[in-house]
Amino acid sequence: MKVLVPVKRVIDYNVKVRVKADGSGVDLANVKMSMNPFDEIAVEEAIRLKEAGKAEEVIAVSIGVKQSQETLRTALAMGADRAILVIATDDVHQDIEPLAVAKILKGIIDEEQPGLVLAGKQAIDNDMNATGQMLAALTGWAQGTFASELDVDGDTATVTREVDGGLQTIKVKMPAIVTVDLRLNEPRYASLPNIMKAKKKPLDEKTPADYGVDVANRLEIVGTKEPEARAAGIIVGSVDELVEKLKEAGAV
């Protein structure tokens, strides 16, 4: 079985995000970029499936600017076998929308015929949380979203999903789309031997046209704002005062 893992190059989670002056988005020029953390978890899970003998090949895919190649090299250094880079734009500020991404992934699935797609549940830049679900609709495959546990057995995958108020366990028929949540695993570091090997692994370059997909944005961003600053707290002198203040605030 092949496992396909889409990975997105996003602003590093440690970077303090700055909104662009015109409100069209956040500033990405000269900012540290990394692999979307949920995608890292997906790569890790795919490699573990391979190590457990349940997958033969792990293919990482990235769709975006040419620099996404670095993100793919990271996936290869973690242990993915080969990579596909779909250069969809040369503008670092253009975010390829989920439907276009899902359509391209559908094209890749048609060519590669993977048994499983492991994707991050969402990208930490725009938090769309849509690509996996759209891809399931386009392929007609089963989907298991927000996976915190995954067990692949023959042509069935058991997915434990983190839902509001608890965990839900479902069985899906393969091939399937599984989107992964934070608690699925702890991604490994790229080992030194794998870093050295990554450069030698195949990385194919493609364009959206290869899959007949138009990536022009359909959504218009009307504004981007910083979150409201948190109001300053106060220090109370006694428990009585604390209770009084809480009552005033209607908290007790």
Partner 1 sequence: MQFGLSEEQEMIVSTVRSFVENEIYPHEAEVERTGQVPHELGEEVKRKCIDLGFYACNFPQEVGGAGLSHLDFTLVERELGRGSMALTHFFGRPQNILMACEGEQRERYLLPAVRGERMDALAMTEPDAGSDVRGMKCQARRDGGDWVINGSKHFISGAEHADFFIVFIATGEDDTPKGPKKRITTFLVDRGTPGFDVREGYNSVSHKGYKNYILAFDNCRLPDAQVLGEVDGGFEVMNTWLYATRLTVAAFCVGRARRCFDLALEYSAERKQFGQPIGKFQGVGFQIADMITEIDAADWLTLAAAWRLDNDLPSNREIASAKLYASEMLARVTDTSLQIFGGMGLMDDFPIERFWRDARVERIWDGTSEIQRHIISRDLLRPLGA
Of 26, 6, 9, residue with least CA distance to 93 = 26
Nearest approach in angstroms of CB 9 to partner 1 is: 13
Q: Which C-beta is closer to partner 1: that of 158 or that of 194?
A: 194
Packed helices 131-139 and 98-112: angle between N→C axes, nearest 10 degrees: 50
Structural contact between residues 129 and 123, judged by C-beta atoms closer than 8 angstroms: no
Structural contact between residues 8 and 24, judged by C-beta atoms closer than 8 angstroms: no
Check residue 244 and report its DSSP letter.
H
Nearest approach in angstroms of CB 159 to partner 1 is: 28
Q: What is the CA radius of gyration of the chain?
A: 21
Strand 176-180 to 116-120 pairing: parallel
Q: Which C-beta is closer to partner 1: that of 77 or that of 102?
A: 77
Nearest approach in angstroms of CB 39 to partner 1 is: 15
Q: Which C-beta is closer to partner 1: that of 54 or that of 73?
A: 73
Q: Which C-beta is closer to partner 1: that of 229 or that of 251?
A: 229
Please state, in angstroms and rounded to a whole number, the distance separating the CA atoms of residues 191 and 198: 10
**Extended beta strands in the chain, E state:** 2-6, 9-11, 33-35, 57-64, 82-87, 116-120, 142-153, 156-163, 166-173, 176-180, 203-206
Nearest approach in angstroms of CB 84 to partner 1 is: 17
Nearest approach in angstroms of CB 10 to partner 1 is: 15
Please state, in angstroms and rounded to a whole number, the distance separating the CA atoms of residues 33 and 16: 12
Could you list the residues that contact partner 1 (CB under 8 A)? 69-70, 73-74, 77, 189-196, 198-199
Q: Which C-beta is closer to partner 1: that of 28 or that of 142?
A: 28
Nearest approach in angstroms of CB 164 to partner 1 is: 30
Q: Which C-beta is closer to partner 1: that of 69 or that of 158?
A: 69
